[in-house]
Amino acid sequence: MVKVDIEDGYYLFKLKDILKNKNISKNKLMRETNTDFKVIQRIINGELTRIDIIVLARICNFLNCHISDIIEYYPTLTKDTILN
């Protein structure tokens, strides 16, 4: 799992853990989802600036999982957030 802090929260990128638990290689994921290896590597390492929902859909379909199983976002809790 890779945590990436951003302005108002953080993302958790969990693809590496899913692949390990399902015993699936990055190469197999690349071939089966027709996704560039660099894209998969960026999702694993949390090095994304934009998320392609079509790529995520292919990965989710192949792995039989939800987007939130791959990437989660957590906002920073502030006093204003808690009050609302």
User: Taken in order 65, 67, 72, 75, is the CA torsion positive or negative?
Assistant: negative
Domains defined along the chain, listed by start: 2-83 (1.10.260.40)
pLDDT number for residue 3 = 93
In this prediction the pTM is 0.83
Q: What percent of the chain has pLDDT over 90?
A: 80
pLDDT number for residue 48 = 84
pLDDT number for residue 51 = 85
Q: What percent of the chain has pLDDT over 70?
A: 92
Task: Give the length of the chain.
Answer: 84
Contact at 8 Å (CB) between 60 and 67?
yes
Which two tokens mark 5? Answer: 């802090």
- Which comes out higher in pLDDT, residue 84 or 37? 37
